[in-house]
Amino acid sequence: MSRAEPLEGLRVLVTAGPTREAIDPVRYISNRSSGKMGFAVARAARDAGARVTLISGPVNRSTPKGVWRVNVDSAEDMQKAVLQYVPDTDIFIAAAAVADYRAKEVSPRKIKKAGDGLSIELVRNPDILATVAGQPEPPFTVGFAAETENVTDNARAKLVHKNLDMIAANQVGHNQAFDQDDNALTVIWDEGEQTLPLQSKRSLAMALIGSVARLYRSKRAKGERA
Ligand code: PMT
């Protein structure tokens, strides 16, 4: 008898990569996310039997076979796409590095050099993860936390603040996590914590999906929100 896959029959929505926040037609604010982590999570969810939608910021990566991919640019675009798919989602995993701020006004023309300095007013972007977790009937919601210090404390605060089911925390910095082939995570939920040591993002994503599947099933068995 073949064993059922851990996410068989479930619909998983994953975000990956950076967002780009336009300043003018040729410039933008962004970050160093390559999409490697999020794409590995999408692949691992697919291998666990899920139907996977991947919403990706601008990255140069091929789509894992069998995964439905939606390309977006800015945080607002990503939020719009995510909210479109959330009603058909059992598990949402937010691995994207979403820009927290965008330019208040996008110049329709290339900004010319003038004077010694330039100030650009920034405004807050929507928090996609918190918006999803705050829905009346949210999916099982998993965030990531990219931290340079107090990694687990800061991540636990995000878990509570954003009302998440689980958060995967990574130490970021020079040659850590962003755009690397390897990564390490501390997976945190209300009643526990698990360390996933440094390894390829592909095997790390498989371990993460294993933890997600276990907590999802256990919450569902207890009749909690999943
Ligand atoms: O793409 P790689 O090069 O492989 O790098 C992987 C990674 C370091 C980007 C990834 O492992 C990771 O940590 N992703 C989350 C990065 C991040 O934005 O962390 P944060 O601590 O700033 O945000 C916390 C959570 O809120 C994240 O799940 C993020 O997707 C979400 N968020 C943040 C801001 C915002 N406006 N909306 C959000 O949904």
Q: How far is the CA of 98 from the centre of ligand 1 (A)?
A: 6
Q: How far is the CA of 146 from the centre of ligand 1 (A)?
A: 6
* Distance from residue 214's CA to the centre of ligand 1 (Å): 23
Phi, psi angles (nearest 5°) of residue 135: -65, 155
Pocket lining for ligand 1, CB < 6 angstroms: 15, 17, 33-38, 75, 94-98, 100, 125, 127-129, 143-146, 158, 170, 172, 177-179
- Let me know if 195 is exposed, middle or buried by CB neighbors in 10 A (0-12, 13-18, 19+): exposed
Q: Strand, coil or helix: what is 29?
A: strand
The CATH code of domain 11-99+122-221 reads: 3.40.50.10300
- 57-105 pLDDT tens trace: 999 999 999 999 999 999 999 999 999 999 999 999 999 999 999 999 9
Q: What is the pLDDT of residues 9-39, one digit of tens each?
A: 999 999 999 999 999 999 999 999 999 999 9
Q: What is the pTM of this model?
A: 0.97
Quick one: pLDDT at residue 204?
A: 98
User: Which of ligand 1's atoms lies nearest the C-alpha of 143?
Assistant: 28
List pLDDT tens digits, range 128-175. 999 999 999 999 999 999 999 999 999 999 999 999 999 999 999 989
Q: Is 49 exposed, middle or buried (0-12, 13-18, 19+ CB in 10 A)?
A: middle
Q: Which residues carry out catalysis?
A: 31
pLDDT tier, 223 (very low <50, low <70, confident <90, very high otherwise):
confident
Q: Which atom of ligand 1 is nearest to the CA of 158?
A: 24
Sequence-separated (6 or more) residues with CB below 8 Å from residue 57: 15, 16, 17, 18, 19, 20, 33, 35, 72, 73, 78, 96, 97
**Is pLDDT of 2 > 60?**
no
- What's the mean pLDDT in 189-218? 97
